[in-house]
Structure 1
Amino acid sequence: MRKSKGIDVWEATWRRLGVIFRDFDNVVLAFSGGKDSGVELNATLAYMRAHGITKKITVVHFDYEAQYQATTDYVTEVMTSNPDLIDPVWICLPMAVISEVSMYQSHWKPWDPELKDIWVRPLPDAPGVIHTGNVPEGFPAYDGVWDYTLQEQVSRWLHRRSDAERTAVLVGIRTQESHHRQAAIHREDKHAMWQSYRWTTRISDGVYNAYPIHDWNVEDIWVANGRNQWSYNELYDFFHLAGVPLSDMRVASPFRGEGQESLKLYREIEPDTWGRLVGRVNGANFTAIYGGTGAMGAKKVRLPQGHTWKSYAVFLWKTLPEERRAEMLPKIRTTMRYWTVTGGALSTDTVANLRNNPPEDAAVEFLGPPTDNRKRKTPMEVVRFSRYPDDLSGRGPVAEIPDWRRMAICFLRNDWQLKGMGFGQSKIRHNQRVQALEKLKETL
């Protein structure tokens, strides 16, 4: 297999698993049903059998109800196999899950008991399934709780349940997939980890996420499956037949932003499932038709005749539901104030382009290198605009430069979190609030 930093990625993973089973008395594996978590699970089971480890690991699957039957079949196979080494926890609860197929429904709740008549599929019948009728004592609050928050709460619950000193939650992320995943492993200011292992992240007291396959690429995944004859989600075979590139094959909630491109594939691969998806979440059919077009901000977005990007963005803004506008307005004000009052850092290449080709509708001040203590991988320079620019196309990456064009595209994409304008999900702030409340409870 491919080498990373002079060592075979398989051997590197084997060594990381050695650290995990040496230093942690409770091991949990987050299993999505996708290719990465599947390989991670198979590699972990292979390590356990090779080293005579008999203590079970907990395999946790968050079931989002709306998924391919092939994924359900694969999850069922995994959760019912290897009972000597796996303790299955299969969560089918009405948590809040982001929906980016409609501005009218910012989230939806899988397995909502009030909507049982239109569930995409029945509750699974297998060991370890947790649903609203059998929630274990001490299980965290779940109804309407964001899925990423619930995932961390479940990790803590599993830690308490096992009465462990240290719990490792194995997460099958690979840095090849995104810059956010790269930063989770390699950011220079990272301190919250187990000892000096950068492939771990501390979640709470005694609970750590671990990323044993973080340096694998997508080819490594399929080489491992082929060499070891491991089972995998057969949905990937259908993706291959449909002409989907390896890098775009994802098992994700079809209503998230990253799932929009593949949403239309449900019509071809599983028509029956598609029929139920359309009736389950607002906007699914429209997104399947227009998700890859300029109508939803994909590919080349054309400015309507007679509009500037500012006037077009304002027009789109007025069409949005009041609830969405209320959620987005503070972020929009923040970004405008940042670029027109404080000034923001851009790469020196982008700054050079702005010097050579300044915007016609805004003056630009060049304020020199950043003076904060933040470490940056590339040279940056701070700039400030006299007003928020209309269109900075061609001066730099779309994700970096601020203009009304980028804002209009966010509205077209139903990007109510404004991720396309550089805002992350509110996860960090929410988690800080949760941790503060927990500490407060301890003092009362």
Structure 2
Amino acid sequence: MSSKKYLNINVYEATQKRLKFIFGEFDNVLVAFSGGKDSGVLLNLAYDYAKRHNQLDKLGTYFLDYEVQYSTTMNYVKKMFDKFDDIKRYWLCLPNSVPSATSMSTGIWIPWEKSKKDIWVRSMPEMDYVINEDNVPWNYQPATSDYQVQEDFTKWFSSKYGKTAVLIGIRTDESYDRYRAIKSNNKVNSYHGKEYLVGKDDITVNAYPVYDWSVKDIWVCNGKQAFPYNKIYDLYYMAGMPINEMRVASPFLSEGLSDLHYYQVIEPNTWAKMLGRVNGVNFASIYGKTTAMGWKNINLPKGMTWKSYLKFLLSTLPKQTRKDYQKIFKTSIEFWDKKGGVLDDETIKELKEAGIPLEIKGKTNYKTDKKAVVFHDYPDDAPVKKFRTVPSYKRMCITIMKNDHTAKYMGFARTKAQEEKRRKAIEKYSKIL
């Protein structure tokens, strides 16, 4: 992993150099626009650059519509599409599989699902650049994951128009995972050795021109350049939301549950429709900022261990959901007992001081200074600062209470069984249509 390196130019100038390379290298430049502050700045920057250099014919943008979104956001997106009517535009309204942490029985929800048309939060947009289930130009299956749909769309776009750079407004200071993804020295698909370019296939490359910007840089740029921006951020500010927590993504992601109640304050009409649209929304709103949604400091019921409490929580779940969690938890127990995971010296010291038995296996084959650790007796709790990195029955309880069906909280990726389940759901759904 490479460390941060500060240059003698500011982030705006650095991005202009990246845009110069991108527009000179690729036949097309396609901006992934979410309606948020980062992608909004990126779209404005790309448009201004293309206009200054007579390259608007290369530029395009797309917006993935999740149906349940603030009307303020939708007004901003439409304003931007109207303003930039001299570039290629695509507005995707598709019944994709979208992660949801509001329900105990399922980990997804599907916007724009035809069978739910009578309870859609919004009507289907009717602009001529809208792509919906009836006019998809690539091989699309309903219930495809939203991330896969974006990749399928961008690859279709490059196959139609030629070599394409897909501009994505990701900033690495938002999370360590984003920083690691862009700055990793071990990437096998980097394009021309440039860390902000990642190849998806021979003619499709993801580009991250503002990866080194801070949230302050974004707002300074908006102010100095007088760029139009989503006014939902003004409403967030007036509602008391911290600037680093402001987001416009799908509201049902686990990361956004603590902010779900803002819909009630900012757009009560939208909130009223949401209640009947997605399972568990009201509960998630009420308890999203409390221990009931799985914060680390949840209180254990009297007379129970975390292991016995886990058994109780599992008993409250639907049969298939319970089996899915049990399989994940069994995998975790066996992994930490036989292979072990890596922990830093500070965490190991905290565990020893807490009297939790562990075995240190020393260095690992991974490129890390952390040590491999095994737990032959799976801990009931782990009273350490980096709680999420250490296995425990308490962590399992939190995973259930967060409705985290893929155990992302525990560091799991989607399993092959879950992928197969999703594939079968797609097949079943397509036969119904």
Q: Same fold (TM over 0.5)?
A: yes
Matched, 1:216 2:213: yes
Matched, 1:240 2:237: yes
> After the TM superposition, which residues 50-89 of structure 1 pair with which residues of structure 2 at under 5 Å, given as runs?
50-84=52-86, 86-89=87-90
Distance 2:255 2:353 in 1: 35
Residues 106 and 405 of structure 2 are in contact (CA less than 8 Å); yes or no, is this contact kept in structure 1?
no
Q: Which amino acid aligns with 1:368?
A: G
Encode CA deviations 1:306-356: one digit per residue, 9 max, x unaligned: 110111111111112222233333322221111111122111111122333
Task: Give the equivalent residue in structure 1 for 2:145.
Answer: 146
User: How far 1:129 sits from its partner (Å)?
Assistant: 0.5
Distance 1:25 1:169 in 2: 11
Q: 2:193 aligns with which of 187, 196, 211?
A: 196
**Helix, strand or coil: the match of 1:30?**
strand
Deviates more, 1:212-221 or 1:123-132: 123-132
Matched, 1:300 2:292: no
Matched, 1:125 2:126: yes
> After the TM superposition, which residues 6-85 of structure 1 pair with which residues of structure 2 at under 5 Å, given as runs?
6-84=8-86
Task: Give the equivalent residue in structure 1 for 2:108.
Answer: 107
> After the TM superposition, which residues 177-196 of structure 1 pair with which residues of structure 2 at under 5 Å, given as runs?
177-196=174-193
Task: Give the equivalent residue in structure 1 for 2:401.
Answer: 412
Task: Give the equivalent residue in structure 2 for 1:442.
Answer: none
Q: Which amino acid aligns with 2:118?
A: D
User: How far 1:28 sits from its partner (Å)?
Assistant: 1.0
Q: 1:430 to 1:317 in 2, by over 3 A?
A: closer
Matched, 1:5 2:7: yes
Q: Which amino acid aligns with 1:133?
A: D
Q: CA RMSD in A?
A: 1.9
Task: Give the equivalent residue in structure 2 for 1:438.
Answer: none
Encode CA deviations 1:100-120: one digit per residue, 9 max, x unaligned: 101123211111111110000
Q: Which amino acid aligns with 1:91?
A: L
> After the TM superposition, which residues 138-177 of structure 1 pair with which residues of structure 2 at under 5 Å, given as runs?
139-162=138-161, 164=162, 166-177=163-174
Percent identity reads 42
Q: Which amino acid aligns with 2:375?
A: F
Residues 291 and 298 of structure 1 are in contact (CA less than 8 Å); yes or no, is this contact kept in structure 2?
no
Distance 1:34 1:263 in 2: 16
Distance 1:62 1:26 in 2: 19
Deviates more, 1:293-302 or 1:205-214: 293-302
Deviates more, 1:344-353 or 1:220-229: 344-353
Distance 1:66 1:326 in 2: 30
**Helix, strand or coil: the match of 1:89?**
strand
Q: Which amino acid aligns with 1:400?
A: T
- Structure 2, unmatched stretches of 5+, are 424-433
Q: 1:209 to 1:392 in 2, by over 3 A?
A: same
Task: Give the equivalent residue in structure 2 for 1:367.
Answer: 361
Distance 2:7 2:103 in 1: 44
Matched, 1:228 2:225: yes
Task: Give the equivalent residue in structure 1 for 2:430.
Answer: none
Q: Which amino acid aligns with 2:95?
A: P
Task: Give the equivalent residue in structure 2 for 1:274.
Answer: 271
User: How far 1:47 sits from its partner (Å)?
Assistant: 1.0
Where in structure 1 do 4 or more consecutive aligned residues deviate above 4 Å? none
Aligned length: 417
User: How far 1:7 sits from its partner (Å)?
Assistant: 2.1
Please report the TM-score for the alignment, with normalisation by the length of structure 2.
Answer: 0.92
Residues 94 and 110 of structure 1 are in contact (CA less than 8 Å); yes or no, is this contact kept in structure 2?
yes
> After the TM superposition, which residues 217-366 of structure 1 pair with which residues of structure 2 at under 5 Å, given as runs?
217-298=214-295, 300-359=297-356, 363-366=357-360
Q: Which amino acid aligns with 1:375?
A: K
